[in-house]
Amino acid sequence: MLKPHRVVLEKVNSYTEEAAAFMRRRRHHRREFVRIRFQSGAEADLPTGTPEADRIATAARRLIELG
């Protein structure tokens, strides 16, 4: 049988993990990306903040808004 303080520690630990997982999910939900695949088979994740990625992301956002 676990000592009482261990039970409390485990509970606190479990709540902390839940909170961390929630934050990770939230970050993931808000993540935007531009992924391009070329005919050569190569794939590129365009880094956000570059002019190419921003232009593509802006065009995509407008398209999504139009529905």
Partner 1 sequence: MSENALAEAAGRVLENLAELEPELVSAGIFDSGLEPVATSSTDVAWSKQAAALLEALEAGSVGQTLDSAHVASTAGEVFVVTESGLSLVAVTGRYVLASLTSYDMRMALRDAAREGSGQGPGGSWAKVRKATGEAENKGRSDA
Binding site for partner 1 (CB under 8 A): 29-40, 42, 46, 52-53, 55-57, 59-67
Name which of 2 and 66 has its Cβ closer to partner 1.
Answer: 66
End-to-end distance of the chain based on CA atoms, in angstroms?
58
Token pair, residue 26, equals 């939230």
CB of 12 to partner 1, least distance (A): 32
Name which of 40 and 49 has its Cβ closer to partner 1.
Answer: 40
Instruction: Report the C-alpha gap between 56 and 21 in whole angstroms.
Output: 30
Name which of 4 and 41 has its Cβ closer to partner 1.
Answer: 41
CB atoms within 10 A of CB 13: 10
CB of 65 to partner 1, least distance (A): 7
